[in-house]
């Protein structure tokens, strides 16, 4: 069994100058493809259940799926709750066997975010589970605007919450479909100078691959969340499978055709976050 906590995989990354990919899961086929890619690359991977995934599949089912894959994998697999918005949701994930939870209080006032995140971190650590928090707000392409992380607030947040990883807003945006202008290196360095906790970049699909690798080597960024980039690869494979034969109707056969192309795309992502 290779189920790992977030700390298990991020602390070595922090020391050795690479990052681990947090991959957004929506169903069995992408989870399977991600683990196959991680085994091919011989590196750890973080399987993430975000809000969209949880709307489609209950947390206890997702926990069982993640743990099943981890038990047969040859590399460390983290079962991670992404963007948990309440104590109840985080507790449900812990009860369902997740090895890591992210509490997202980023829309709340600073002290409230600190207090609530610290409480979730305490609950998680008591259960042997890692906790990620977010300071600053990462916006959405064609949606809510970002609020960049203040380095002094990041120092306070890291010190007072006891989180194992800290998501920051430094020019990254959720749901970006192509490379953006890159991350704000000055802001990252300022945060880095005041904290020692592994840093997380949400919206990693919009970060150019070369910058992903460079920042993993030179800063405390140890985790890139990748969703849109791989959802696009899945969509392309699904369309090709469906359009290859107008008479095809078997769901299982169609979805199986997405696994190999998605695994190949995932290998490229995994290579982009490692030295």
Q: Return the active site residues.
A: 82
Contact 103, 131 (CB under 8 A): yes
The pairing of strands 165-168 and 199-201 is parallel
Token pair in block for residue 146: 């970002």
258: left (phi over 0), alpha (psi -120 to 50) or beta: alpha
Within a 13 Å sphere around the CA of 262, how many CA atoms are in the beta-carbon half? 33
Contact 44, 20 (CB under 8 A): yes
Give CA–CA dist 141/203, Å, rounded. 9
Within a 13 Å sphere around the CA of 212, how many CA atoms are in the beta-carbon half? 27
Give 142's DSSP letter: T
List the one residue out of 222, 123, 99, 124 whose CA is nearest residue 168. Answer: 222
Give CA–CA dist 230/272, Å, rounded. 13
Give CA–CA dist 96/109, Å, rounded. 30
């Amino acid at each position: 069994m290779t189920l790992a906590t977030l700390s298990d995989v991020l602390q070595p990354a922090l020391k050795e100058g690479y990052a681990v990919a947090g991959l957004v899961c929506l169903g069995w086929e992408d989870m399977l493809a991600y683990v196959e890619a991680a085994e091919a690359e011989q590196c750890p991977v973080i399987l993430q259940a975000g809000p969209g995934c949880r709307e489609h599949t209950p947390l206890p089912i997702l926990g069982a799926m993640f743990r099943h894959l981890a038990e047969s994998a040859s590399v460390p697999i983290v079962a991670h709750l992404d963007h948990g918005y309440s104590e109840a949701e985080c507790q449900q994930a812990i009860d369902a066997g997740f090895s890591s939870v992210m509490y997202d209080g980023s829309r709340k006032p600073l002290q409230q975010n600190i207090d609530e995140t610290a409480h979730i971190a305490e609950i998680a650590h008591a259960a042997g589970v890692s906790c990620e928090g977010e300071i600053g707000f990462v916006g959405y392409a064609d949606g809510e605007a970002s609020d960049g992380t203040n380095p002094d607030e990041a120092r306070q947040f890291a010190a007072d919450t006891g989180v194992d990883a800290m998501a920051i807003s430094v020019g990254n945006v959720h749901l970006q479909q192509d490379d953006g202008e890159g991350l704000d290196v000055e802001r990252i360095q300022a945060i880095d100078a005041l904290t020692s906790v592994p840093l997380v970049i949400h919206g990693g699909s919009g970060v150019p691959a070369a910058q992903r690798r460079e920042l993993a080597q030179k800063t405390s960024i140890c985790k890139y969340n990748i969703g849109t980039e791989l959802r696009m690869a899945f969509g392309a494979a699904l369309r090709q499978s469906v359009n290859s034969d107008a008479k095809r109707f078997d769901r299982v056969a169609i979805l199986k055709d997405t696994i190999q192309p998605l695994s190949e795309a995932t290998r490229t992502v995994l290579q982009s976050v490692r030295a």
